[in-house]
């Protein structure tokens, strides 16, 4: 097979058995790889209603279709499973070069099933795979695990692992690769921990077969050339993703003090220039990336001086900084390093801490119930202590490790209003009251409260259209224009293809669908034009939705926290704004071809997308 290696590993951890399986080409054509292929396996193999942390849940790692090739930023892999945080479909993607090394080891992906009796790690070395005892590594964090495994196996192995947070089943634990890169969202690290799978070490030199090498190289070279003179690439390389902090803040949409306002008064202390001045060592990029938005960094002063790592990136600064009302950039950077080492999602961790700070402010949680801690907004020392406690599930950290939805259910007293999650997944650092269409994207994203499912923040907060869809312009971000619901649908579909291909979504800003279709067509030899590009994204997106419907999700779940729906922003350019989500929902379902009452993909839509075999599963007993 061209593009893909054509094989996956199936690892039964209960029995300690490893099987090699071929990927049918027809399946690859329909779902490409990465998120698409993994979601297909998950849909087919996970029974609805199972415990995400139980043996029946599958944990699937899958490299993208173009991952490991000469296409720009072809570095990514996806982890797909059922989330212990949201109880629905989970996907988390990561860059670096682990996904490339997995593919070069001879396999596109790995399906883990069952639960190991004792801690284990998987070694894949040029098509040979073996499970080994990880007892010595259990209880260790990501940096130490990676170091020890490399000492044991050799420096040429690349490691993806969980830290203590994953072992302790923190509901938003991450899987880390290349030390600093995270498959962060949805608690995929907790699923790995539940299986007592500590790490996966990969190495390989297997070549990816390309259908038309000359044509592929020509297209890829052209893409590099286009990106080389893109102002967007330059902005990201110069400032990293923190580039956008000022841009979001001037729209009045930077969530501050747990979304009590959208204006952060100290933004100049935490923005891209502050990062460059205070901690930047040099920009770093993922495999084959022409942009280099990563930050190699070092804390140079204060109590954490001497600590080194990568980051922080926008979401960390947005959550640990503005949301927690903390302007101490060194402390924010330290929180980021800690999350990476413990294996924690920075968005959910920062958001959860901001939430508990507001609970403390309102007296919903007290010093006594917080184990003697005073959890004030703006207290950076407390914030750092809480990161440790969450990862170790110590004291109040045991409660915080459950995420905002479950904490609010436990604490009550109106805290649900400002538990800032959708479907249980903590929201990222963009206040949708400052750009209305982004509220629709939060409400409908398949994995829950998420920004990069549609990244409609690009054409709104950042005033930057995405070329990968024909029309992504939002005329007035503060108006609800029902017609613009189509932009969310189109962007969800297009960016799904990026996850399936294994490419960074930033590439969708500068290159269009034709350029991406050409990459896939020349790589695989398939007839793959713009129409196939769009249909494939839509097909995968509908399959994921069907997974969630099968788990019991309905239209009622496509909503936002009460704060966004009912509490007007108190100041700034978006003063007085709330999300009038209902204006968007019906048109969105119409554009999607979903039933407006139930939110289910209609049988007609599923047939149109070549998914008729799943109709019975989501209309069981109805038709």
Partner 1 sequence: MYQYGTKEWDENYAKIVEERKKSEQKPYIVGTPEWVSEFEKKIQGDERYKEIAKNWEGSVVLVLKSDPQAGLDNDIFIFIDLWHGECHSVRMVPGEAGRNGDYVLEGEYERWKRIMKKELNVVKELATRKIKLVPFEFRKAAKLTAAAQASIRLVDLSGQVSDIFPDDLESEKVKAFKALLKELKTKFGI
Q: How far apart are CA 381 and CA 373, in angstroms?
A: 11
- Answer for the pair 254, 327: CB distance below 8 angstroms, yes or no: no
In the structure encoding, which two tokens stand for residue 438, read together? 């982004």
In the bound state with partner 1, the residue whose beta carbon lies nearer, of 149 and 509, is: 509
Q: How far is the CB of 459 from partner 1 (least distance, A)?
A: 9
In the bound state with partner 1, the residue whose beta carbon lies nearer, of 211 and 238, is: 238
Q: How far is the CB of 468 from partner 1 (least distance, A)?
A: 12
In the bound state with partner 1, the residue whose beta carbon lies nearer, of 337 and 506, is: 506
Which strands, in side-by-side order, build the sheet including 308-310? 280-284, 294-298, 308-310
Query: Does residue 235 sit in helix, strand or coil?
Result: helix
Distant-in-sequence, close-in-space partners of 478: CB < 8 Å, separation ≥ 6: 434, 435, 436, 574, 577
Q: How far apart are CA 508 and CA 498, in angstroms?
A: 8
Residues 383 to 402 in contact with partner 1, rule: CB under 8 A? none
Q: How far is the CB of 166 from partner 1 (least distance, A)?
A: 36
Q: How far apart are CA 32 and CA 466, in angstroms?
A: 22
Interaction pattern, residues 187-226, with partner 1; x per rule: CB under 8 A: ---------------------------------------x
- Answer for the pair 14, 115: CB distance below 8 angstroms, yes or no: yes
**Counting contacts by CB under 8 A, is residue 434 touching partner 1?**
no
Q: How far apart are the first and last CA of the chain?
A: 39
Q: How far apart are CA 403 and CA 410, in angstroms?
A: 11
In the bound state with partner 1, the residue whose beta carbon lies nearer, of 322 and 546, is: 322
Q: How far apart are CA 491 and CA 453, in angstroms?
A: 8
For 506, half-sphere exposure in the C-beta direction (CA atoms, 13 angstrom radius) is 25
In the bound state with partner 1, the residue whose beta carbon lies nearer, of 419 and 467, is: 467
- Residue in 112, 239, 360, 430 binding partner 1, rule: CB under 8 A: 239
Bridge partners of 94, per DSSP, are: 77
Q: How far apart are CA 101 and CA 123, in angstroms?
A: 12
| Buried/exposed 345-354: b ≥16 CB within 10 Å, e otherwise | bbbbbbbbbb
Query: Does residue 368 sit in helix, strand or coil?
Result: coil
**Counting contacts by CB under 8 A, is residue 1 touching partner 1?**
no
In the bound state with partner 1, the residue whose beta carbon lies nearer, of 292 and 389, is: 292
Residues 494 to 553 in contact with partner 1, rule: CB under 8 A? 509-510
Q: How far apart are CA 206 and CA 183, in angstroms?
A: 24
- Answer for the pair 90, 74: CB distance below 8 angstroms, yes or no: no
Among the listed ranges 23-31, 68-76, 166-174, 235-243, the one in contact with partner 1 (CB under 8 A) is 235-243
**Counting contacts by CB under 8 A, is residue 464 touching partner 1?**
yes
With tokens 């960094």, the residue in question is: 297
Among the listed ranges 172-180, 237-245, 438-446, 574-582, the one in contact with partner 1 (CB under 8 A) is 237-245
- Residue in 124, 129, 165, 247 binding partner 1, rule: CB under 8 A: 247
Which strands, in side-by-side order, build the sheet including 59-63? 17-22, 7-12, 109-113, 59-63, 77-82, 89-94
Bridge partners of 283, per DSSP, are: 295
- Residue in 25, 45, 212, 237 binding partner 1, rule: CB under 8 A: 237
DSSP string, 181-208: EEE-GGGHHHHHHHTTEEEEEEE--PPP
Q: Which DSSP state fits 308?
A: E
- Residue in 373, 462, 468, 614 binding partner 1, rule: CB under 8 A: 462
Among the listed ranges 120-128, 239-247, 329-337, 583-591, the one in contact with partner 1 (CB under 8 A) is 239-247
**Counting contacts by CB under 8 A, is residue 263 touching partner 1?**
no
- Residue in 6, 378, 529, 573 binding partner 1, rule: CB under 8 A: 573
Q: How far is the CB of 232 from partner 1 (least distance, A)?
A: 5
Residues 345 to 364 in contact with partner 1, rule: CB under 8 A? none
- Residue in 59, 407, 467, 614 binding partner 1, rule: CB under 8 A: 467
Q: How far is the CB of 235 from partner 1 (least distance, A)?
A: 3
- Residue in 44, 277, 473, 582 binding partner 1, rule: CB under 8 A: 473
In the bound state with partner 1, the residue whose beta carbon lies nearer, of 137 and 455, is: 455
- Answer for the pair 6, 48: CB distance below 8 angstroms, yes or no: no
Q: How far is the CB of 382 from partner 1 (least distance, A)?
A: 31
In the structure encoding, which two tokens stand for residue 473, read together? 């312009």
Residues 17 to 56 in contact with partner 1, rule: CB under 8 A? none
- Answer for the pair 558, 598: CB distance below 8 angstroms, yes or no: no
Q: How far is the CB of 592 from partner 1 (least distance, A)?
A: 26
- Residue in 250, 284, 478, 575 binding partner 1, rule: CB under 8 A: 250
Q: How far apart are CA 174 and CA 339, in angstroms?
A: 9
In the bound state with partner 1, the residue whose beta carbon lies nearer, of 208 and 232, is: 232
**Counting contacts by CB under 8 A, is residue 234 touching partner 1?**
yes
Q: How far is the CB of 290 from partner 1 (least distance, A)?
A: 12
Alpha carbon separation from 221 to 99, 156, 218, 515 (Å, rounded): 22, 28, 5, 11
Among the listed ranges 35-43, 124-132, 464-472, 574-582, the one in contact with partner 1 (CB under 8 A) is 464-472
Give the residue among 197, 189, 314 at the shortest CA–CA distance from 248.
Answer: 314
**Counting contacts by CB under 8 A, is residue 170 touching partner 1?**
no
**Counting contacts by CB under 8 A, is residue 229 touching partner 1?**
yes
Residues in the chain: 623
In the bound state with partner 1, the residue whose beta carbon lies nearer, of 348 and 460, is: 460
Q: How far is the CB of 90 from partner 1 (least distance, A)?
A: 32
How many binding residues for partner 1 (CB under 8 A)?
26
Residue 124 φ then ψ, to 5°: -120, 120
In the bound state with partner 1, the residue whose beta carbon lies nearer, of 391 and 467, is: 467
- Answer for the pair 75, 97: CB distance below 8 angstroms, yes or no: yes
**Counting contacts by CB under 8 A, is residue 241 touching partner 1?**
no
| Buried/exposed 124-134: b ≥16 CB within 10 Å, e otherwise | bbeeebebbeb
Q: How far is the CB of 267 from partner 1 (least distance, A)?
A: 10
Q: How far is the CB of 261 from partner 1 (least distance, A)?
A: 16
Q: How far apart are CA 56 and CA 76, in angstroms?
A: 26
**Counting contacts by CB under 8 A, is residue 272 touching partner 1?**
yes
**Counting contacts by CB under 8 A, is residue 284 touching partner 1?**
no
**Counting contacts by CB under 8 A, is residue 243 touching partner 1?**
yes
Among the listed ranges 61-69, 72-80, 236-244, 610-618, the one in contact with partner 1 (CB under 8 A) is 236-244
Site residues (CB under 8 A) for partner 1?
226, 229-232, 234-239, 243, 246-247, 250-251, 272, 462-465, 467, 473, 509-510, 573
């Amino acid at each position: 097979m061209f593009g893909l290696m054509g094989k996956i590993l199936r690892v039964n951890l209960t029995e300690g058995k490893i099987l090699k399986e071929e990927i049918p080409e027809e399946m690859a054509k329909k779902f490409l790889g990465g998120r698409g292929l993994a979601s297909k396996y998950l849909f087919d193999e996970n029974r609805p209603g199972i415990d995400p942390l139980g043996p029946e849940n599958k944990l699937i790692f899958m490299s993208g279709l173009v991952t490991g090739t000469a296409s720009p930023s072809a570095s990514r892999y996806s982890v797909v499973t059922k989330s212990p945080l949201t109880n629905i479909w989970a996907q988390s993607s990561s860059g670096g070069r682990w996904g490339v090394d997995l593919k070069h080891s001879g396999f596109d992906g790995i399906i883990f099933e069952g639960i190991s009796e004792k801690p284990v790690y998987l070694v894949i070395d040029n098509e040979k795979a073996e499970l080994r005892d990880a007892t010595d590594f259990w209880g260790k964090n990501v940096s130490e695990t990676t170091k020890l495994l490399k000492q044991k196996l050799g420096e040429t192995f690349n490691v993806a692992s969980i830290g203590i947070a994953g072992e302790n089943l923190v509901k938003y634990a991450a899987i880390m690769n290349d030390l600093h890169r995270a498959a962060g969202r949805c608690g995929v690290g907790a699923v790995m921990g539940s299986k007592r799978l500590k790490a996966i070490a990969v190495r390989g030199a297997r070549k990816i077969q390309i259908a038309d090498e000359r044509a592929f190289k020509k297209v890829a070279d052209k893409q590099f050339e286009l990106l080389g003179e893109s102002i967007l690439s330059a902005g990201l390389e110069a400032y990293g993703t923190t580039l956008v902090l000022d841009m979001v803040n001037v729209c009045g949409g930077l969530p501050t003090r747990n979304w009590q306002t959208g204006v952060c008064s100290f933004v100049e202390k935490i923005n891209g220039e502050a990062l460059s001045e205070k901690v930047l060592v040099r920009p770093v990029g993922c495999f084959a990336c022409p942009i280099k938005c990563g930050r190699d960094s070092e804390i140079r002063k204060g109590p954490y001086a001497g600590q080194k790592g990568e980051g922080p990136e926008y979401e960390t600064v947005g959550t640990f900084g503005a949301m927690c009302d903390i302007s101490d950039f060194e402390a924010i950077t330290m929180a980021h390093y800690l999350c990476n080492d413990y294996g924690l999602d920075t968005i959910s961790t920062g958001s959860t801490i901001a939430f508990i700070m507001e609970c403390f402010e309102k007296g919903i949680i007290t010093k006594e119930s917080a184990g003697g801690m005073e959890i004030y907004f703006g207290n950076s020392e407390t914030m750092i202590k809480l990161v440790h406690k969450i990862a170790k599930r110590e004291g109040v950290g045991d409660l915080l490790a459950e995420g905002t939805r479950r904490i609010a259910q436990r604490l009550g007293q109106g805290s649900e209003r400002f538990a800032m999650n959708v479907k249980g997944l903590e929201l990222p650092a963009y206040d949708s009251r400052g750009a209305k269409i982004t509220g629709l994207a939060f409400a409908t994203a398949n994995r829950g409260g998420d920004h990069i499912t549609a990244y409609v923040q690009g054409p709104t907060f950042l005033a930057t259209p995405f070329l990968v869809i024909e029309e992504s312009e939002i005329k007035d971000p503060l108006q609800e224009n029902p017609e613009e619901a189509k932009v969310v649908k189109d962007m969800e579909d297009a960016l799904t293809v990026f996850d399936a291909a294994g490419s960074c979504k930033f590439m969708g800003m500068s290159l269009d669908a034709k350029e991406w279709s050409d990459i896939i067509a020349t790589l695989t030899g398939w007839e793959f034009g713009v129409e196939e590009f769009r249909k494939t994204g839509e097909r995968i997106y509908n399959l994921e939705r069907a997974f969630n419907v099968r788990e019991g999700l309905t239209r009622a779940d496509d909503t936002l926290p009460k704060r966004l729906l009912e509490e007007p922003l108190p100041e700034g350019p978006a003063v007085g704004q709330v999300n009038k989500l209902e204006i968007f929902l019906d048109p969105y379902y119409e554009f999607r071809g979903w039933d407006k009452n139930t939110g289910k993909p209609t049988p007609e839509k599923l047939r149109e997308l070549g998914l008729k075999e799943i109709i019975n599963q989501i209309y069981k007993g109805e038709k």
